[in-house]
Structure formats: structure tokens, C-alpha cells
Structure 1
Amino acid sequence: MPALPAHGGGEEGGVFHVLVTGFGPFANHQPDNPSWLAVQPLHNVVLPLDTETGGKHRVIKISALQVPVTYESVASVVPKLHLRPPVLPDQVKDDFYRLPQDKGYDFIFHLGVAGRGPLRMEKLGHKLGYHMKDPSGKLAPTVKGPPSDFGRREESDMSVGEQAVERIGLGFDVESAGDTYSVRPSRGFGAGYEKFPDEIYTDIDVSRLVSHLRKNGVEQIYSSMDAGHYLCDFAYYCSLAESKRNGKPYEKDRNTQVLFVHCPPVGQPLTTEEVTEAIRRIIIWVCLENAEIAG
């Protein structure tokens, strides 16, 4: 796992800057989304690290941000969080720990709500397949595939099934009903994300982190390979891609670490306080792990 940078110079020499995000209210989660309820208590919190490197004790400065529950908001807010320095929404920027000029967050940790059950730590985000409307009634952007050459083929050249396979290869979703197929354009990340793969994995060792948490009192948690192809997955892929876009290829340890965890509705079975404590432990593990590597 790439090492988190220790910001050099002055009082920032031993600081890890962490941003935690939760989603805003929607539909069945009024007035507050359970993810935001769990994240909010960590805003402007400073945590010590149980390590000392180069004679300096290190600390973690955490800021918490609420992201509106729409594709448009995610696409607008998340990329700016990965700039150096980050660009925060105007209404909150003066209440966040300030980062040194030309520095980004060391760790951006996203939280979203899922169904009843344990915490779910996601290993990867998906580029395409976002066909559910957000709470505002809007769909994710349409992703245009390359021009097809179907019009230049004789109908006898390809069977209906073969045409369906080719259309899938061009980025379309194909639904079947017997011998007939209907095509709907794929939705997700298109313009500006062409160079990124269909799946992006986090650099964090999710399996090892989950094992650590289970051994240390956080038993209601497991890893997942499916973030849901909805707003949580959309935010996760966006954040993972932007981390790579804004990293320096010749300084791979400079990439911002990114992680997404799904939490259940309050009390199903975890309380808000239990989720907050799990978040705190995850943040400490990620920063401590990287502090030791960097040291």
C-alpha cells in the first residue's frame, strides 16, 4: 500500500489530513442520513497516533463533509476534494482544517447507508451500470460508446445474440426477453474518464483491515466486491479515479488513499455511536499503517 506523505515544514510536519464524507437526507432517511449521523461527530477532531517517527509525534486532523444525494452533486463535489489544495463548498470551507498550499488530503473516507446488517467495506468502485434514478428523479450521465458498424453489415452476417454481445462490447446494456433484445445506453462515467478502467480497486488492504477490526472488537463488518451501482458506488469510483488523476506518477506515495464503507440504518443492528467508533478505528489503522511505512 502506498505510504501517506508526512507534510513537511513547521507545525504540519507530523499531520495526516483526513476527510470523512457522509450523505445528506433523502426519502426514508429524514431529517438525517445515518451515514452523516455517524460522520458528523468526527468533524474537527484531532487524534494522536501511537507512533513516533523522526522524533516527532504524529496526529490526525479530521474534517467531515455532507454530500447531497444526487449524481450531479457527487460529480461536482468529489473531484474538487482531490485537488491540491482541495476546493470545498463555499458554505463549509471556513469551518475545515486548512491544508498547506499544494497539498491534498492524505485519506478520503466515504460513508453511505445500505440495508440492515453489518458494516460493509467496499474493495472497488464501478465505472458503468448506474440505471437507478437518484432521489431528485435524475439518472446518471449517459456514456456514449464508439460508433457501431451495424449499418454496414448484412442482417445475415450476425445473429441477434451476436449483435447483443457486440453491443455490450461497445458499452451498451442489453436486456433479453426470449429471442428479442432491447438496448439501453450505459450510464456512469464517460467524458473525462476514458482512460480509467471499468473497475478501480482501493489501494488499502481491505481484507487485512477487516481482519484487524474483527480481532479488536468491531465484529459486525465484512468486505464486499459490490458497492451497489448507485450513488455510493458512483461516489466511490469518482473518488478513486480522481485520486489517480491528481496523484504524481513519479511519486506514487503521494496519491490520496480512498475507502468506502456502507453502514446500516440506525439500530439495524449498530448504533450511531458504534459506527462512529468503527470509523475512528479505521482512520487510525490507515494512518498508523502508513506512518510506519513512511518512517
Structure 2
Amino acid sequence: MNESETVVVTGFGPFRQFLVNPSWTAAQGLKLVGLGERIDVYTKEVAVSYFKTQQIIAEIWQTLKPKFAVHLGIARGSRVVILEQTGKNSGYKDRDVCGFCPESHCCVEGGPEKLDSVVNMRAVAKHFKQAGMDVIYSRDAGRYLCDFAYYCSLYHGQGRAALIHVPSSGSLASADRLVLLLQSIIQSMLGQLEDPSQTT
């Protein structure tokens, strides 16, 4: 029986000069273009707040039980798409839009220091780079809300999550081009989930 599966795509809410966060615009674009047959795309805007992020991500995994979650964030000053492999648990010292910072400076007290996505981001990035796309791989998501959301999602989803930093400038900052590239990248990740041998 071909039941549809849920893929969650989140983007962040307003942040500093971004009154409409490009990551949320991209998430909405992905909802419109879809990720293929039998995949329900569920989008959610996440406030740039540690507390709300923790709540929303835990809720997504507990209630929707998605096949995969993709978190989009903005990389200020970047002109490329960055695929993040690793979420870090501690070192969160920058305040969020509410002026708040976790007392423990970590995502999950007692959780592992680092969690990796089950998707091989290096392989995905390499595939798109070879095709001439501006896509790079990273193991340091920056210790702010993007990294925080990513770790929480990896923790709740047993690694079935991705964090993609989208560019704030350059040709890929145009929503249409970005959405189509993200669609291909996420489909490639989902293909890898189905068949881990696709990492080569």
C-alpha cells in the first residue's frame, strides 16, 4: 500500500534586518513545488527563540512523526547553499530575538556533545558541486538558532534531519532558483534514506 509520508520543512521567522526571513520564504516555496509523489510537505515557521524552537521541534517529532525533517536557516553574507552534517549540543551563548540565552548554554542537558545526520551531506554536496551548483558541505553550523534547532531535531528524530543554510546574497538568493535547487537537494537526501548505497 502506497501511503504518503510526511517531510517537515521549517524556516525561521523575522531576524535582525530580515523582516521576512529568506529561509521561511524558501520553505513556503518548497511546499508549493512539492517533493514528489506520496510526500506530504508540512511547513512550519520557527521563531528565532531558543525556548520556542525547543518546543516546536519536540512537538513536530512527537505529533507528526515525519520520515525526515529539513531545517532551513539563513547564512548571512553567504552566496552558496551549505549542507550541515553535525548539530552541536553546547556553547550557545548568543542571545535570541527575545534577549534570552539558555542557562545551561546547551540544547539537551545530558545529551551527546555532537549528533550527525543519517544523510551523508558530503556526498550530496559533492554530487551538486560536480554538476556546477554552488553547494558546499560543513560540519560547523554556527552555534546559534540554526545549530540549536538542528541538534534538537537530530536528537528527537534519531538523526533523520538536515540543516541547510541558504544564501542571503548572490544569484541563489532569488527565491525561484533557490527553491528548485533545494527541491533537488532534498530529493537526493530522501533517495539516500531509501537506499543508503546511494552515498557513493
TM-score (norm 2): 0.89
**TM-aligned CA distance change 1:37 to 1:211, over 3 Å:** same
For 1:99-178, what aligned pairs fall within 5 Å after superposition?
104-117=65-78, 118-140=80-102, 142-143=103-104
2:147 and 2:116 map into 1 onto residues whose CA distance is 12
Distance 1:135 1:293, change over 3 A: closer
Counterpart position of 1:40: 28
CA distance in 2: counterparts of 1:229 and 1:38, whole angstroms: 22
C-alpha distance after superposition, 1:237-273 (max 9, x if no partner): 11111113xxxxxxxxxxx620001112154653222
**Larger deviation, residues 235-244 vs 279-288:** 279-288
The residue that corresponds to 1:6 in the other structure is: none
Distance 2:17 2:126 in 1: 32
Aligned to 1:277: 180
Structure 1 residues 293 and 236: CA distance shift in structure 2, 3 A: closer
The amino acid across from 1:59 in the alignment is R
Rg larger in structure: 1
Q: Give the structure 2 partner of residue 29 of structure 1.
A: 18
Residue in structure 2 matched with residue 70 of structure 1 by the alignment:
49
Could you list the runs of 5+ residues in structure 2 that have no partner in the other structure? none
| Superposition pairs of residues 1-295 of structure 1, within 5 angstroms | 9=1, 11-12=2-3, 15-30=4-19, 32-43=20-31, 45-48=33-36, 59-83=38-62, 85-86=63-64, 104-117=65-78, 118-140=80-102, 142-143=103-104, 187-190=105-108, 193-194=109-110, 196-217=111-132, 219-244=133-158, 257-267=160-170, 270-292=173-195
* 2:7 partner SS: strand
1:128 & 1:225 partners in 2: Cα distance? 15
* Alpha-carbon offset, residue 60 of structure 1: 2.2
Q: Offset at 1:290?
A: 3.1
Aligned residues: 196
Q: Secondary structure at the match of 1:132?
A: coil
TM-score (norm 1): 0.62
SS in 2 for 1:62: strand
> How many Å separate the matches in 1 of 2:106 and 2:196?
35
Equivalent-residue separation in structure 1 for 2:150 and 2:28 (angstroms): 19
Q: Which one has a larger percent helix, Structure 1 or Structure 2?
A: 2
Give the secondary-structure state (helix, strand or coil) at the position aligned to 2:56. helix
Amino acid at match of 1:188: C
RMSD: 2.1
Shift of 1:44: 5.8
State the 1:46 CA deviation.
4.1
Q: Secondary structure, in 3 states, of the residue corresponding to 1:42? A: helix
| Counterparts of 2:171 and 2:130, CA distance in 1 | 22
